[in-house]
Each structure stands twice: as C-alpha cells, then as structure tokens.
Structure 1
C-alpha cells in the first residue's frame, strides 16, 4: 500500500476549446424584414449555423457602415445563451504590391520594348540608306537588285514589329491580371463593420440568431395619383397612395417583406420651457454706457499706477450668468407607438430595393373617395375660373404630406401637394381651370358728390358689375360657383365706408342685418346668415360660407371676431347650363371735403 501523501492529486477537467464560427453577413444570412421610416430603416437578418456544446465565438463580417450601433440587438432560437456582443470596424489588410510573376512580366516587357526599339531603328536606317543612293551611278540591273533586297529586308522588319507589338500587348494584359490577383477580391468599403457574439450552447446542434439594427441613408416619402371622373356620381375621386423608397446603405434588400412606418424617430425632442418674462423701466443705453465707463475708469485709476489704465476682468459668476441658455441635451431615440399617432403600411409580396440611392415606387393602396366639386373665381385679380374638389378621406389610412399628380377625365392637369390628412378628414385638391365657365369683370363706375351745410362732406360712390356665363352643354348639371371680391377698409376715423350692395352686416350680439346662424356663436357674437341676392345667389363674408354649408370643422376653425374685418366677401351662385348671372357690387366712401384719400 502506498501512503496518502504518495497518491497523485486529481487535476480539474480541462475547459473545452472555444469554437470559432466566421460568417459573412451578405452570403450567410437572409433579410427577413425591413421597416422603413422617414430617414432610417430597421433591418432584421436571420442566421442559421451549427454550434458545439459549450462556448462558441461567432464573428459576423460585412455589416453596413451606416448601422446605428446604439440600435443593435441580437435575438435567438435554440438551447443557447447569448452574451458579450461587440461591434468593431474592420481595417482591411495591406495589399501586396509585387510578386515573382509580376517581376518576371516587367522584365519581359522591358526586353520586348528594347527589341521593338532596335527593329524600328533598323527600319529607319534602311530608309536612310535607300535615300542616300544616287540612281545616276547605279546601273539598271544593280538598281533592281537593291530594290528587291530593300523590299525583302523591310518586310522582315515589319513582321518583327508586328510580333513585338502583339507581344507587348499580351504582357501588359498579364501585368493587369497579376495586379488584380494581388489586390484580392473587390470588397464593398461600406460593409466594413464586424459583430462579435459569444454563444454558450447547452448541446451541439443548429442555432438561429437574428440581428436587428437600424441603418441611416434610407427613407420613404408619400406620393399620390389623384384621378377625378367628372361624369361619375358616387365617389368620383380615385386616389392611388404610393410610397417612394430610397436607400443607400451599402447592402441590397433582395426579395424582402417591406413595411412603411409613418412614425418618425426623433432625437432629444422634449417639451420646451418658458423663461421668466420680466419688465423694467427703459433707460437710455448710450448714457448708461458712458456713465458706467466713467465710474469704471475712476475706480481703476485709483488703484493703478500713474499713467496706466486697468480694466477689471469679468468674474466667473458673471460669465455663467450672462443670460438664459438651454441645458445640453443627450441624444435619445424615441419611436412613436402605433395606433392613432402613427400607422404601419405592409406592402404585399416581396420587394427588391438595391442600394443605388434611387427612388423605387410601390403602391400602398388604391382608394375610391367621395368628392365635392366647386368652382372659384377672384375676378378682381384673374377672371379665369378654378375648379377644385374637396375630397374626404373615408379610409383607415393616414395620408402623409406628399406630391400628387392630378388627372381629370383621364387627362393630366397639374401637380399639387397633399397635406397631412387623418381618417375622416377632408382636403382640397385643385383641378385646374374650367374654360366653360366665363366671368366678365366690367369697368368700375364712379360718382362724386357733396353733402352737408356747415361740414362739407365728399361722397364717392362706386359700382362694379360682374357677369358669369355657364357655357356647359344643356345636359350638364347646375354648378355652384364662388366669386370672391372685397370692400375697401378705412384706416382713418374721418373716412367712412358704407356697404350698399350686398348690404352685409358685421357679427353682432343682437344679430342685426339679415339674421343670424343660431347654432354657431363665439361668446355673444353671432354670424349673420347669408343674404339672398337673387334666384340662386347668396352673399356672405368670406369664410362664413363654409359654416352656412354645415361644415363642423369650419365652425370650429372660424374666427368670428375677425369676420368681415378685412372686407372680403363672396357670392355663392347656382347657375344652370347655358345661363348667365349678373352680380353688382356697390359701396360709398365719405370723407371731409378736400380730403385726399389714398387707395381709391
């Protein structure tokens, strides 16, 4: 038996070696999801690989340089634990500049160039020799021999030049190929990030890991095609909602499921704060500066040497308290939650979006929407009649701001902008000019008179006539046109403007004038109801016409106190086909006699 002291000590089991797995992002994975936001995109890449039991080191190269490292995260499936995730930039190794084959090719190139130079020199010498011969001293038989010898020698030299030139071209091509081999395969310099991930597996087998990261240089914008059918009764507007996707991230998105997000990631956006707003008595800045300068100079001179001036330096407290300033913000990424704030558009099918920084259009949805046509004219500025449609977004989609191409009855009319439109909200879409509705703005009539016995007053009476002709065929429907004009506004108490026709009254508590709309009030003010001018013609202050048509949004947005203060009003005219309507605008301006009135 042996003693206990002679027993060999039991050594701990050795740690299993760490298995290293090297993968290339583009070759060894598949993009399974792309969510594009305004200004960035979120990529989900799926990797499948085998691991050994124990510790595994996964190295993934070829990730885009545009990757936002703060957004990088790793998710996995399988009996394993993920830890120690790091991202680094790959520094490409220095490429060799020469090799044995390249050196040999350069030697052959030099030899061929020298041989070509010798042959060309021989040709030149032969030409010189032939030119130096004098035909008078050479017989005919000898001359023939010389010419034949020259021709044979020059032909051999020309053939040698051709061979050497071809040989030089082959050597140069071989040098170019050899340099390409030395440089190695061309790599995308924008895919230079590397992710190192530690994976501890419970047992050997396949593991799935998804990399989720945000990238810059990717965005999408909304675009629309709006087609209006003037002959359609129900839902005459067709809106094609499109998304234009642009990406220049360095990696191509091949056959990926794509979603477009309306939420916008923001950085450090917080609620602004108000600084104290203080009032003080105004003092003359020049006098205060001179006084302060004199007192400063006197105090400094009392402590300075004779003949010198000392300027006191500002204290640190004065520098810090120089004025209110915003605190330095840390960057944060906040993505709005889905729901009423934002929407997600899933594009059907698979799409391929290369990294080419070019716009790629996809159709989100095609909507048939209700639209109300209206005609508008401001004849004082332009007698042409504009046609527009008020389109209601009766869908579940939020329309983002974007450009639209407008078509009327299949013909392209114009380009316009679509604002931000929520579901159940309406927006105006211009449809161009309608030449079948003609407006004539006749010359203005003017009369000047005087009144008053002791205080003479000059009266200026004006009359403006407007004719509207609906030249549409008799089979067309009655149209409703809005004609906008204005009364002058007095900015002086001595000048009075009287509205004669239409006799519109300003909003009042009693509702004087032509009555009031009882269901729309602002405090105690009430909106006058439209004035009936004639058959199918009413007049109202500009803006109040929307309220009279029952627009709930117009009622809430209308500023009743400012109604009519700018003098703008409108006529709403219902005109049958092949019919005319005459409108009359009359007003009177009174002022003390010999008063020069500007603006008339």
Structure 2
C-alpha cells in the first residue's frame, strides 16, 4: 500500500519595512491605528505568512487581518522575533581587526612618548643646562616633539582607514544593526485553493503617538470685516519605532470611553447614632496573674488605657504582647471602598490631512496646517485704572466655519506683532470664544489724583462730611473710533451704621422692588460727552443675565461703557460723600 506523502506548509517570510506598505494612519490622542498591505505569493494548500519587524508598542488586542482572494485565514498569532546573531567572522575581518589593534597600541605608545618629552622639557633648569647650550637643547626637543606629532597623525589616519574597512566588511557579511524597537512579528496561517498572489491587510494599533491642536491667531484692529485670520494646525509626535513615510493621515478626536454603563442607586438609610460599646476579652497573664474584666483597680486602668488607644487610632499595632485585649465595637458599620471611573465626552471631529505626509519616529513635534480661516470678531477693551491705567484688548471670535476647534495653545499676533500665547477652549461651529489680545497702547488712560473736601455741619448734633471726586481721562489715538471700552471703578462701602456713603455722580440708583417684591435691574444712565462720544454707566454686573438684582451696588463697583471717537478725549467723573459723626476716625478713606 502506497504511503501518503507528508503534508508540507509553505512558509512565506516578509519584512514590514521592505515588503509591506502603510496605506493609512489614523492618529488619536495617545495612540494610532496603522493599516499595512502586502501581497505574498501563496502555494496551493496550507501557507504560513510571517511578517516581521513590527513595532514593540503594537497593541496585540487591536490586530485585525483581512484578505482579498480565494483563500481562507485559519489562525493569526503575534510573537517576539528571535535575535539570531549574524555571521561576524572572515579571514579579511580578522586581519583588519588585528591591524586596528596594532595601530591603537602604536598610538598609545606615541602619546606616551610625547608626554615624556613634555615632562623632560618641564624639568630642565640652570643646574642641568648651561646658558650657551640652551638654544641647542630647545631645538633638539622641538625636533623630537615635531617628529612624534607627525607620527601620531599618520597612525590616527591609518587607524581610521582600517575602522572604515572593518565597517564595510561587516556590512558585506550581513552584520547590520538590529532595530530593537521593531521586534514583533505576526504569523498568519492561510489555506489557498491554488497558487497565486493574494492581498493581506494588517490593521493594528500602536501607542507612543499623539497629536495636539495648535493655533496662530492674527488680528487686525483697523479692519471691520473679518478682522481675524485663524490658522488651525496640528502638532504631531510619534515614537513607535516605524517611520510613516508618504502616508495619508487622518486626525481623530474620538477617544475610548470607559465606565459608560448606567450607574445604580444603592439604598440610602438613616439611623440614630449610638456610641460604640467596647467589650473586654478575658485572658490570664502568667507573669502578673491579672485577667481582663476582673474587679481590680489595676485591671480597669489597663483596660481603659487600651480602649483609649483603639478610639484614637485606626491602625492596629502589631508585634507587641499585651496583657489585655480589646474587641471591635458592637454593630460597627463596614465601609465599602468605591472605585470612581469617569468618562468625559469631548467634542469629536475628524480631519483628513490633504496629500501625503512623512512623520519619522523621533518623538519630535511636526506641525501641519489643517486649514486657514477668516473669522468675524467683536473687539472690546476693558480697563481698571485704579489698579493699572491700561486698556486690555479682547476679541470675541465667532467660529462660523464647519470645523470644530479643540482646546489648545494659540500664538496671538495683533497688527503683525506677537502679543502672547493663550489657550483656545473647545469650540463647536457657530459658537464664540474670548481671546485676550494684550495691552492696547493706542488708548491712553489717566487716573487723576482724587480731590477731597471736608465740611462740618449741624448745631446740636455735629457731623462731618467728606466729599471726593475722581476723574478719569481717556484719549483715543487711533485713526478710527472704538465702540466698546469698559472702565471699572468703585466707591467705598460702609461697614458701620454711623458712616453713610452717598453716590453723587453719576446718578445711579440701587435696584428697587416692585409691588410683587421682585427687584428690577435699573436702566443704564447715559452721559453726554460731546459729538460722537457715547457713554453709559451702570452698576457692575447689571449686564449679566444671571446676576441677582438685589446684590447690585452692594460692593460699590460701577462700570462705564464708552464709545470714543478717533483722536478724541473723554473724561469720566465719579463723586461721592462720606458722612459720619464729628470726631470719628474713619479707616479706609484714602485707599
């Protein structure tokens, strides 16, 4: 009876760098998904395709293998590559290594001789050399040193030539540097119906890869329409061990979510607190003859001492022998340790970088531009001249594009000059965000010295009245007007019933309750400052929709909103009086 020939498995060995190609990279925050394609030639029957040189940071649970062609994938496995030492020996290599050793020893001897000459030269003095022989001696030493220097240079050149020859010989022998970052290999067992080439697709995730959103914001303060140029960029880093060369890249913001199951409510119970009751455990002592729970005074004192130790500490002292023992409190509740897992749903977006991109595995930042946008913005200025007579410029930028802005750092430029680096929050399309633009030097603010007058009034009950006036000058040096300059200031607030503070200018009133007892926010007070100037003043916080009207003015803060024409100056005035009994020493008047 004829024997059936033994079944053979056709082995196909591929290297990821040379035999496969990356066709797509999807980059997430902290990881990336790589798609590789290869076309091995399979024999009819069982085949084992081994793809080596994959990165060590490959996530094994993420590996997927797909195929196109008349074949069936039976098994997929991942393992570490075996380190096979290359052939490192040959007669020529041995001779070169011997030459290098001889040159290195000759170089060492030459350097030692040079050192001896220098030592000898340094030891010469008048006791060893006469004055008439000094010139001849110096020339002899210089000649010997020069000869040794030339010999050393020649030996070093020959040693370098031999070193290069050794490297070339090892390259011929196949001794190449092993990349320790690419030591994973994938083995795919495939059954093919006939001999042919098939297409295998490897999809796997890797760590050590991430991207962050960065921005360049250019603002033109003299432009009304689309004053903001918004450059959306991505800073890409990867240290996976494999270079991404000429690959299509997709930036993803979706991150895996954990703990998204619906939480469960546990019973919420109430009970009357009862202090813990401690019980004693009797145990005889061989050394003293005492027992826990006995009637002696010494026994009770020792028991009280141990119970006090238990009540004041939650840690058990081990390794000490005690004459007494204590028990746990009766009905003591048992605490369950809870594990808190949070899942934060961030704004998600997907960006496809146009064209192909190369990102080496060097863990360096590589910036690519996603898009450049022209956006609308509302400029506003705010100043607190009591603390600093400067106008802080802020732009409220509206994202009227189809792109989602992720949180990231922005470099801000105003009229071509770098101003600062600020943080951009996560912004969806059609949302707005505030962007600080630094100090605007073209708005000059002067906080004048405060004037003060003192008056005494009354015959039977004398009182003292302090009148204060604060002036603030604002000069707009711009060739265009500014429409939203906010100026904050304050008047003092009394904390004593004998001291009264009255606001005399501007004529603001505190919120008053209507018939239903509901306080209403007072309307802003309009102040005329000449042609083209428009000034409104109100209590600070009155413009916020969530402010409690009854709290307005409690802190004495007020806010002017000014429209200042080009090349014009406006003056804001704040006046108040402080009334108190005569002779009262009022603290805080001159802050």
Equivalent residues of 1:300, 1:309 under 8 A apart = no
- State the Cα distance separating 1:411 from its structure 2 match: 3.1
Which of 481, 484, 504 is matched with 1:480 structurally?
A: 484
- State the Cα distance separating 1:526 from its structure 2 match: 3.6
Aligned to 1:20: 11
Aligned to 1:78: 69
Aligned to 1:395: 401
Which of 562, 573, 577 is matched with 1:584 structurally?
A: 573
- State the Cα distance separating 1:116 from its structure 2 match: 11
What SS is found at the alignment partner of 2:17? helix
Pairing of 1:150-549 with structure 2 (within 5 A):
184-266=175-257, 299-300=280-281, 303-305=284-286, 307=288, 309-310=322-323, 312=325, 321=334, 323-327=335-339, 341-448=347-454, 459-473=465-479, 476-490=480-494, 496-507=500-511, 509-510=513-514, 524-535=518-529, 536-545=534-543
- State the Cα distance separating 1:438 from its structure 2 match: 1.2
- State the Cα distance separating 1:448 from its structure 2 match: 4.8
Cα distance in 2 for residues equivalent to 1:113 and 1:217: 43
Equivalent residues of 1:387, 1:434 under 8 A apart = yes
- Structure 1 pair 436–54 and aligned structure 2 pair: CA distance change class (3 A): same
- Structure 1 pair 79–315 and aligned structure 2 pair: CA distance change class (3 A): farther
Aligned to 2:557: 568
Which of 33, 55, 69 is matched with 2:24 structurally?
A: 33
Cα distance in 2 for residues equivalent to 1:471 and 1:173: 70
Q: What's the TM-score, normalizing by structure 2?
A: 0.74
Aligned to 1:141: none
Q: Which runs of 5+ in 1 are unaligned?
A: 1-7, 120-158, 513-522, 548-554
- Structure 1 pair 183–417 and aligned structure 2 pair: CA distance change class (3 A): same
Equivalent residues of 1:16, 1:54 under 8 A apart = no
Cα distance in 1 for residues equivalent to 2:587 and 2:247: 68
What SS is found at the alignment partner of 1:462? strand
Cα distance in 2 for residues equivalent to 1:104 and 1:564: 95
Equivalent residues of 2:281, 2:327 under 8 A apart = no
Cα distance in 2 for residues equivalent to 1:282 and 1:315: 17
Equivalent residues of 1:531, 1:540 under 8 A apart = yes
Q: After superposition, what is the alpha-carbon deviation per residue over 1:510-541, rounded to whole angstroms, capped at 9, x for unaligned? A: 299xxxxxxxxxx9554332122334111123
- State the Cα distance separating 1:258 from its structure 2 match: 0.9
- State the Cα distance separating 1:207 from its structure 2 match: 1.6
- State the Cα distance separating 1:253 from its structure 2 match: 0.6
What SS is found at the alignment partner of 2:355? strand
Cα distance in 2 for residues equivalent to 1:400 and 1:161: 62
Cα distance in 2 for residues equivalent to 1:430 and 1:438: 19
- State the Cα distance separating 1:231 from its structure 2 match: 3.3
Cα distance in 1 for residues equivalent to 2:44 and 2:162: 54
Cα distance in 2 for residues equivalent to 1:33 and 1:185: 29
| TM-align CA RMSD | 4.5
Aligned to 1:43: 34
- Structure 1 pair 98–29 and aligned structure 2 pair: CA distance change class (3 A): closer
Aligned to 1:133: none
Cα distance in 2 for residues equivalent to 1:590 and 1:280: 57
- State the Cα distance separating 1:446 from its structure 2 match: 3.2
- Structure 1 pair 108–246 and aligned structure 2 pair: CA distance change class (3 A): closer
Equivalent residues of 2:383, 2:392 under 8 A apart = yes
Deviates more, 1:194-203 or 1:61-70: 194-203
Q: After superposition, what is the alpha-carbon deviation per residue over 1:519-572, rounded to whole angstroms, capped at 9, x for unaligned? A: xxxx95543321223341111233434x5xxxxxxx4x6566655554433101
- State the Cα distance separating 1:430 from its structure 2 match: 2.5
Pairing of 1:81-160 with structure 2 (within 5 A):
81-94=72-85
Q: Which runs of 5+ in 2 are unaligned?
A: 111-149, 289-320
- State the Cα distance separating 1:273 from its structure 2 match: 8.0
Equivalent residues of 2:525, 2:536 under 8 A apart = yes
